[in-house]
Amino acid sequence: MSDKVVAELHQPTPAVGDGGPDMIQLLTPEGQRVSHPDYDKYVADLTPEDLRSFYRDLVLIRRLDAEGYALQRQGELGLWPSLLGQEAAQVGSGRALKPHDFVFPTYREHGVGFVRGMDPQSSLQLFRGVSQGGWDPKENNFHLYTIVIGAQALHATGYAMGVRMDGNVGTGDPERDTAVICYFGDGASSQGDVNEAFVYAASFDAPVVFFCQNNQWAISEPVEKQTRIPLFQRAAGFGFPGVRVDGNDILATYAVTQHCLDEARNGNGPLLVEAYTYRMGAHTTADDPTKYRVSAEVEEWKFRDPILRLKTYLAHEGMADDAFFTAVDEEADRFAAELREGCVTMATMPGETMWDHIYAEDHPVMEAERAAYLAYKASFEEAN
């Protein structure tokens, strides 16, 4: 290895800064609409009512997250992974999906699940420990949360390969052509599972959109310790396109995701979206971010708040007034009260139900394990 190469490898990693010139943005942090020649068409048909519904989703999702955090701190949940600051990335991308598309989340996509029609109580069930998953993935084409970092990328790629093998890609029929979207964070992008998924997806032209929410900090390490280049550029090494979008801009996130999903449905997948955003809170409630990042950085990102910028835009353009914003806040209060009541009154599912949904049909190994569990459970009753 030459001295020049060695010197280059030991150069300090460049700071990512504010997203750089390649980042797609349609709505500035100040709430001003900016034009983009490639993506304006994806938001051209959005009505004021659509934009107001975007705002409502953002507010309700933030309230869901706040209640989840509070419930954990009060001992009602075992854990809560916050999405604070990432609402636009989730709502924008989730609203770009079609009903027959399929979602593979990590463990903090509460916003995506909400816009897919999931019962908000479902994620609370999981983190309260009263169910073995919380929902049927087929009901809203929304897979169960994946706790193992990055494993869902392989699940998504395998499902997308199946979509292609079934002939549901590139037919020209919008009711048939299907895309798969896989969510993960910047930390997961360093996992072997994610990189293996990239290899398989590229090799088999899988109709999958890899959606990376780059919230800058993984669990406790800055993203610049994981990569010398912006994350979206990694896709080129696997042979497919990547794009960076302002993850705090709901319009840009919606437009870019819609474009990428269309490409996947038309047989031009896979693709990688890097949503450049920021985790305002802790990685989970088991984490203390003050141990590894400075408060000044958090304060800077408050000025890029996704809800405030959309609110400013709606008000400035005359699309919403104080009465609307007040009504949304009041709805959020009712929503929070219902969440809390539903959480603290949840019934615990019997332990034996953990075997109910592993296989489509009865399986002798599962039946044997269930029987052993029931016998073990009964032994405590006999002892009493």
Catalytic residues: 279, 283, 292
What six digits make up the tokens of 323?
């009465």
For 239, the 3-state DSSP assignment is: coil
Whole-number Cα distances in Å, 190 to 200, 292, 332, 337: 16, 19, 37, 39
Nearest to 35 by CA among 260, 252, 245, 241: 252
- The runs of H, that is alpha helices, within 275-321 are 295-302, 306-316
| Phi, psi values for residue 102, rounded to 5° | -125, 140
Buried b (16+ CB within 10 A) or exposed e, 347-377: eebeeeebbeeeeeeeeeeeeeebeeeeeee
Residue 268, classified by CB atoms within 10 Å of its CB into exposed (0-12), middle (13-18) or buried (19+), is: middle
Contact predicate 181/93, CB 8 Å: yes
> Measured between alpha carbons, how far is 196 from 209 in angstroms, rounded to an integer?
15
48 upstream amide cis, omega within 30 of 0: no
> Measured between alpha carbons, how far is 14 from 11 in angstroms, rounded to an integer?
9
Nearest to 353 by CA among 129, 122, 132: 132
> Who's near 123: CB < 8 A, 6+ residues apart?
68, 110, 113, 134, 145
